[in-house]
Amino acid sequence: MVEKLREYNRKRDFARTLEPEGKEEAAKGSLRFVVQHHLARRDHYDLRLEWDGVFLSWAIPKGPSYNTRDKRLAVQVEDHPLEYRNFEGTIPQGEYGGGVVMLWDEGYWEPLGDVAEGLRDGILRFVLKGQRLKGRWALVQLKNKSKLNKLNWLFLKEKDEYAQSEDGVSGFTTSIRTGRTMGEIEAGEDKK
Ligand code: MN
């Protein structure tokens, strides 16, 4: 039970960070997803897909793009607890992931094909039903022999009616949940 979130829990000191403690939850109904903008030592977006009681997670340095020609590096990171979908705020400097976290998008995802098989083969294709991310997307694992590089995937927009010639997301600079900018979250300002 605790096994999947062991790394998540090991990396964090819950006496110091407001992030939720890792607990697996029983799956119920539709599969949720969330994207968090995380301004830490490096700026990135975290894509989290609910699967089997936890969030499978990828850190995407450049963030998503609606342009089907963009291939965005997505580095798989430790599974996160489902409660993480409600986390927006600051992580103290010096702690793991220290910086600002914004809830950038949320909704549901629908796998196209078998997920367990996709994870094994290194290709996940799915539909996102978020407020900002919609339509068909894919995660494709880069084929590499070294263990470290097995964590590298590409996050791609697939052709559909939502595809664009621009990234289509740079204009979204506020929280989907609270309407706050990164600066306002950091300053601890109230929900808009
Ligand atoms: Mn992150």
The tens digit of pLDDT for each residue in 18-56 reads 999 999 888 778 999 999 999 999 999 999 999 999 999
Three-class DSSP category at 1: coil
Three-class DSSP category at 160: coil
Three-class DSSP category at 149: helix
**What is the pLDDT, as a whole number, of residue 191?**
83
pLDDT lower than 70: segments of the chain: 1-2, 145-148
**What is the pLDDT, as a whole number, of residue 152?**
93
Ligand 1 centre distance from Cα of residue 3 (Å): 20
**What is the pLDDT, as a whole number, of residue 26?**
82
Q: What is the pTM assigned to this prediction?
A: 0.94
Ligand 1 centre distance from Cα of residue 44 (Å): 7
Ligand 1 centre distance from Cα of residue 91 (Å): 11
Ligand 1 centre distance from Cα of residue 64 (Å): 14
Q: Can you list the alpha helix ranges (DSSP code H) found in 4-88?
A: 6-11
Ligand 1 centre distance from Cα of residue 100 (Å): 9
**What is the pLDDT, as a whole number, of residue 17?**
95
**What is the pLDDT, as a whole number, of residue 25?**
86
Cβ neighbours for 6, distance < 8 A, ≥ 6 positions apart: 22
Ligand 1 centre distance from Cα of residue 88 (Å): 12
**What is the pLDDT, as a whole number, of residue 2?**
55
Ligand 1 centre distance from Cα of residue 111 (Å): 23
Q: Where are the domains of the chain?
A: 2-187
Cβ neighbours for 5, distance < 8 A, ≥ 6 positions apart: 22, 23, 24, 54, 78, 79, 80, 81
User: What CA–CA distance (Å, rounded) separates 79 from 50?
Assistant: 10
